[in-house]
Structure 1
Amino acid sequence: MEYEIVDTEHAFLPNWQAAMPAARMVLRAAAQGGAGADVSIRWCRLRAGESITVILPALLARNGKTVILADEPGDALILEALSAGAAGCCNTHAAPEVLQQVAAVVGNGGLWVGQNLLQQLIGRTARILSNQNPASAKAALPDTLSEREKQVAAMVASGASNKEIANRLSIAERTVKAHLTAIFDKTGTRDRLQLSLKINGLKL
């Protein structure tokens, strides 16, 4: 994939360099004016005090998906970015591994909302579905899952994080991740949110 990083100055941060060494830097004024080639993902830095609604429209008019790199990230800002049309929002100074995860999710057609907000959304979705249709919320897990995989899947569907699952089951987080990989494959789901919706009885 081709990446373009948009900022008010040519400041290629070390974490960007490590995650996207071939990315092009483009000044925001030029990018908003239509300069630069079309790319797979356009990363736009949102500095402290700046408004998403002022920055995004011109960038969204071009081909490629836009991810906001926020100097002051937060759940409200992430939701605002997604509502405005961005494909994701993360911390400007996120570790290279996180930026690569964002790129993978967005590049495959997903939205990046961040782990904290994702857990909140899953938990709220599970509670809403359970209240609306208690019977479907208790739908049986697929028989193809092992007993441990069923435990992990049920906890994910209730909004538990990998760390919480690991603590409750007295296993390592890497073991939880391994179980999740198998669960996604066996249930035909792509991520935690899809899995939660499926287990809680909502058709995808």
Structure 2
Amino acid sequence: MSQNIFLCSETVRPSARWLDAFPEGVCQEQADLVAAVRPGDVVWVEAADGGWLDRLGALVKLLPDCRLVVVSMTPDSAEALAALDRGARGYCHALAVPSMFRDVELVVRHGGLWVGPELMARVVGAAGRALAPQATLQQPLLSEREAEVAREVANGMSNKEIAAKLGITERTVKAHMGAIFEKLGVRDRLQLVLRLSEHRDVSLPVH
């Protein structure tokens, strides 16, 4: 069974919230990491010093069958993008609530990418503007409401912003997102934008 492993050192330890999220989680020093990991494990790396980025890149190559997630005490967009560029599958605050840690794990374990709603909205919005899907919806893959939600995702809006604009709850937006992902065969918001742009039969008009 796969496990969650936090990369520890003399000065770096997982937060109490991480431990609450993963009671069976393992704290492992880098020297013993290779012997401890199994395919499919999620390895959590803290951006705690100047060498963390190089260490992350080395671990990505060393552990190709694992998912690496970076946690930071002072998260910012530039750091997140640097982590993703080195091969991390997720990036979040080191003091996130336990439920968010579990959400991150779920997404990356299933092959998705987690960078938090704010950065994801920026990335998706930039991708949507660059790709500029223009075709109309030629096949009824999505319902009218699902198409509206998908369009706003492509415009870079968060679930909260979509809910406010469409006059529905965030829970309803999440339900629509689940249906959209399933119908279009995508795992995250960025894949959704790419799908809409690559396949004109499911692309949406830009208003």
Range of TM-score over shorter length: 0.7 to 0.9
What is the one-letter code of the residue matched to 2:25?
A
**With structure 2 as the length reference, what TM-score do the two structures score?**
0.83
Q: How far apart are residue 78 of structure 1 and its match?
A: 0.9
Contact preservation (8 Å) 1:154, 1:199: no
% identity of equivalent residues = 37
Number of the residue aligned with 1:52: 52
1:105 alignment partner, one of 69, 94, 107: 107
Number of the residue aligned with 2:203: none
Number of the residue aligned with 2:117: 115
1:201/1:27 CA distance change after superposition, 3 Å: closer
Once superposed, what is the RMSD of the aligned Cα atoms?
2.2
Which stretch has the larger CA shift, 54-63 or 146-155? 54-63
Return the alpha-carbon distance in structure 2 between the equivalents of residues 41 and 121 of structure 1: 24
Contact preservation (8 Å) 1:5, 1:24: yes
Return the alpha-carbon distance in structure 1 between the equivalents of residues 164 and 99 of structure 2: 24
What is the correspondence of 1:93-172 to structure 2 with a 5 Å cutoff?
93-130=95-132, 136-140=133-137, 142-172=139-169
Return the alpha-carbon distance in structure 2 between the equivalents of residues 26 and 188 of structure 1: 36
1:4 aligns with 2:10: no
Contact preservation (8 Å) 1:44, 1:68: yes
Q: Deviations over 1:117-147 (max 9, x none)?
A: 11111111111112xxxxx523316413222
Q: How far apart are residue 175 of structure 1 and its match?
A: 0.8
For structure 2, the 5+ residue unaligned runs are 201-207
How many residues in Structure 1 have an aligned counterpart in Structure 2? 194
Q: How far apart are residue 158 of structure 1 and its match?
A: 1.4
Contact preservation (8 Å) 1:2, 1:41: yes
What is the one-letter code of the residue matched to 1:195?
L
SS at match of 1:43: strand
Contact preservation (8 Å) 2:6, 2:26: yes
Contact preservation (8 Å) 1:157, 1:197: no
**With structure 1 as the length reference, what TM-score do the two structures score?**
0.84
Return the alpha-carbon distance in structure 2 between the equivalents of residues 35 and 172 of structure 1: 45
Contact preservation (8 Å) 1:139, 1:201: no
1:37 aligns with 2:36: yes
SS at match of 2:81: helix
SS at match of 1:171: coil
Contact preservation (8 Å) 2:47, 2:53: no
2:27 alignment partner, one of 25, 28, 31: 25
Contact preservation (8 Å) 2:46, 2:52: no
